[in-house]
Chain A
Amino acid sequence: MSTCIETKQVSKIFGGLTAVNTVDVVVTENIIASIIGPNGAGKTTLFNCISGYYTPEHGQIEFYGMPIQGQPTYAVATMGIARTYQNIRLFGDMTAIENIMVGQYPRFKAGWVDAVLSTRRERDEEKQSIEESVRLLKFVGLAGLGDSLARNLPYGAQRRLEIARALANKPRLLLLDEPTAGMNPQETGKMTHFIRSLRDELGITILLIEHDMRVVMDISDQITVLDYGTKIAEGKPKEIQSNQRVIEAYLGPDVTSLTKKYQLRKKQRYDAKS
């Protein structure tokens, strides 16, 4: 299996704050990898470095062996890295299908002259673009909603539309920033299933940030844990669950004693009641 994306000693510094500190992540092809960590751990910053929105101060990011750090965002996207956002960022005043068509942008060639002259290329591409978009709408379960404005769609549909827009470019790597944020357990279950189908049916490598531990432990092939910008653990879900440093990062040091105290108090309260 070849390596899909690899960050080598990547650091991103904002003023005096090192948001991402010499992080190495290796994601092989066709797996679901997760990045977890407490708030402010630098997960989204790392995402922004990969997708070209930030240029890291140190280190290298390689996509199938090609260095991509410092490249403009649109060039990174054109190479085949697509992403979604923590707080959904659709083109709200466009229809759902148009959102997907914008996502296809790098795959087509027709320019403004083609558009004005309505050349064969323009017409062929337009037809292909619409057909594919309709298919993609069906794939994410939004068939029939294509002509409604994106901002009028229900929340879950907006999340799926955002993924559809990312898929429109036929990416090899998909970055999902908290895909189940704000969803109820039922929707979360559906989304988990959907993400897995992306890997299995489309063969896309997926890197995701997620706070819902059940989702993470359920679907990840590999988990990377960040805390204060540094990588503190990496491995299979089982290994992470029992990792002492991870537990400390989430729940604070002396967590064992805290837990004991909590249990003690709970027991006292229970006793007092009865």
Chain B
Amino acid sequence: MKAAVDKGLRTGVIFGIVIVVMFLIGFTVTGAELVGKLFGVSTPSNTMPSLSFFALFMILMGTWTGTIAAQHPLVEADTWKRALTAGISAGAFSGLLAAVIGFLFGGLNSSKIDPRTYLPSISPESIKMFLFGQTSLVGSLMIFALLTFSALAGASLSYFLRSNNGLKSGTSAATNSISAVMRSERMTSLLQNKYARYVMMLVFAAILLILPRTWGSYWNYVFGTVGIYIILGLGLNIITGWAGQLVIGYVAFFAVGAYTFSLLTAPEPHHLMLNFWVALGLGVLAAGISGLLIGLPILNLRGDYLAIVTLGFAEIIRIMLKSDLMTAYTAGPRGIRDIAGPTLFGKSFISDVDFMYLIIIAVLVVTFLANRLQNSRTGKAWYAINLDETVARATGINAFASKLLALSLSAAVAGLAGALFASRNQFTGPDDHALMVSINVICLVIVGGIGNIPGIFLGAFALKGLPEILRETESYRLLIFGVLLIVMMRLRPEGFLPAKRPKLEKNSGKEA
């Protein structure tokens, strides 16, 4: 029994702190808005979401607290009494913390001190909502009771689920069953069946064909960005995921591609006005060559030199593009406007739907390329260098040449993404190529699953698509990013979808 109370208190502390921090940064309001969105009620800006949504949000938090508290092995081993004890003590403790903070701020509110002078995200309205519109004493008691009871409910729910189905918890059960289905014999044989695969491909292609027409321009824009980030992620994955050489300034190659393309097609500053496809090819080529040139002097070295050198390269490019010195050649900080859109047989198609198709095709091409390379002789050499460069050299792999190839392929893919990006926006400037782009790409590769192509798709959707869907959370994007990365590193250090190795021995008879 003591173990249960112990575990409950520890969980309660964590969740209590989380709730207090949420309150302090104003997330309680955003959370309530999100809950409202689930029910299809959008909250206009400058108004507070309804109290019931806030209550529901708090109940969710409390339930979560209780579920986690009841999951400790010491608690699990025994009766429902333990689970409920853990739940109730967790809920009570987090509720206590929340009540104390609510009481304090309620006091501030009633003595007409504006907390915004110290904590900009808290408004008197949000404090009022936190106390359910009651006086500070009644409100804090209410929130205490709410959290305690919902934690109790969460604990009994988790106990109920476990004792009925032998499941650990709702969420892990769902992921487990999905992966079990994916791994089961029937599924693998279905995936390996040629015709089944063709049918799936057709369905997939049909979906890709129809979706951009039905989305509307906003979603085309969002998913176009996701597509470009998928391309970037796949490109970075070649050098960082497979060959294991960290590149921090990946945006440099993106910029080289974008600027080469833009300067060749825009009316200003050079009036070259080249054809879209020619310029696209040249942009890819220029980026690839820049990767080659960067790699030549440093890839003979091991360790993180490449990361530092590319970081410097990215900054040099961005600052050069901004400088007065280059204004005559690259249009300076104003950026380049009126960049050409794609043309086909003399007809230009620059509508958002058409461009979405172009991005989808580019994503498919890069995916195809990456997929072919992944388990080829070259891909194995890259992975060998990643795992142990000394041994890779001793087995006859020219590590320098391999790494150079990986870097220039990577850079060329980034160039493609850059050219598409510039063409879609019909504008590119130095601020499009800030270091944050590189960080985003590294994050999406790591979160999705380093070295794994589906993982990169998932990462791009999670990191570039979700924030657009959850617009309310925009101001917390970096916070959520950080939390997500820490949680990832703790729970799934290899990413959501870690890379798997192919089964070559088992399949060796079948192919022949």
Contact = CB atoms under 8 A, between A and B. Distances in A.
Interface string A148-163: 0100000000000000
Nearest to B379: A115
Interface string B395-429: 11111000001000100000000000000000000
B390 A53 contact: yes
A115 B377 contact: yes
Given A105-B396, A115-B377, A94 B505 contact: no
Interface in B87-140: none
Given A91-B387, A115-B376, A105 B508 contact: no
A105 B504 contact: no
Interface string A102-135: 1101101011101110100010011101110110
Given A98-B504, A134-B505, A74 B393 contact: yes
Contacts of A96: 505
A73 B409 CA distance: 25
B512 interface: yes
B369 A116 contact: yes
A89 B391 contact: yes
Contacts, number: 131
Interface residues of A, number: 51
A253 to B, nearest CB: 38
A126 B409 CA distance: 22
A22 to B, nearest CB: 25
Nearest to A112: B378
B380 interface: yes
A98 B376 contact: no
Interface string B494-512: 0000000111111010011
The majority secondary structure among interface residues of chain A is: helix
B397 A102 contact: yes
Contact of B380 (A51, A102, A118): A102
Contacts of A94: 380, 383-384, 387, 501
B185 interface: no
Interface stretch (A77-85, A183-191, A233-241): A77-85
A221 B399 CA distance: 36
B373 A116 contact: yes
**Of B390, B392, B504, most A-chain CB atoms within 10 Å:** B504
Interface string A33-48: 0000000000000000
A97 interface: yes
Contact of A91 (B388, B396, B512): B388
A21 interface: no
The majority secondary structure among interface residues of chain B is: helix
A200 interface: no
A137 interface: yes
Contact of B377 (A82, A93, A110, A165): A110
A110 B379 CA distance: 11
**Of B378, B388, B394, most A-chain CB atoms within 10 Å:** B394
A105 B395 contact: yes
Given A74-B398, A131-B508, A118 B372 contact: yes
B378 A111 contact: yes
Nearest to A137: B505
A115 B372 contact: yes
A94 B242 CA distance: 12
Nearest to A109: B377
B463 interface: no
A198 B405 CA distance: 36
Contacts of B383: 91, 93-94
Contact of A102 (B372, B381, B504, B511): B381
A103 B380 contact: no
Interface residues of B, number: 34
Contacts of B397: 74, 102, 105-106
A169 interface: yes
A130 B381 contact: no
A95 interface: yes
A146 B376 contact: no
B504 A73 contact: no
A125 B394 contact: no
A136 B508 CA distance: 13
Contacts of A212: none
Nearest to B392: A102
Contacts of A52: 394
A166 B373 CA distance: 24
Contacts of B379: 115
Nearest to B398: A74
Contact of B504 (A74, A103, A133): A133
Interface string A50-74: 0111000000000000000000111
B396 A77 contact: yes
A92 interface: yes
B404 to A, nearest CB: 12
Given A74-B396, A77-B395, A147-B506, A101 B390 contact: no
A147 B507 CA distance: 10
Contact of A127 (B372, B380, B398, B511): B511
Contacts of A131: 508, 512
Contacts of A126: 376-377
B179 to A, nearest CB: 18
**Of B391, B398, B409, most A-chain CB atoms within 10 Å:** B391
A131 B504 CA distance: 10
Contacts of A103: 395
**Of A97, A102, A131, most B-chain CB atoms within 10 Å:** A102
Interface in B58-107: none
19 contacts: A74-B396, A74-B398, A74-B399, A78-B396, A90-B391, A91-B391, A96-B505, A98-B501, A98-B502, A98-B504, A101-B504, A105-B380, A106-B397, A110-B377, A112-B405, A114-B376, A115-B378, A127-B511, A137-B505
10 pairs of A and B residues whose beta carbons are closest in the complex: A146-B505, A115-B376, A106-B396, A77-B396, A73-B393, A91-B387, A112-B378, A102-B384, A147-B503, A78-B396
Interface of B: 369, 372-373, 376-381, 383-384, 387-388, 390-399, 405, 409, 501-506, 508, 511-512
Interface of A: 51-53, 72-74, 77-78, 82-83, 85, 89-98, 101-103, 105-106, 108, 110-112, 114-116, 118, 122, 125-127, 129-131, 133-134, 137, 144, 146-147, 149, 165-166, 169
Given A52-B394, A91-B392, A95-B501, 6 more contacts: A53-B390, A73-B390, A74-B398, A78-B396, A91-B383, A95-B505
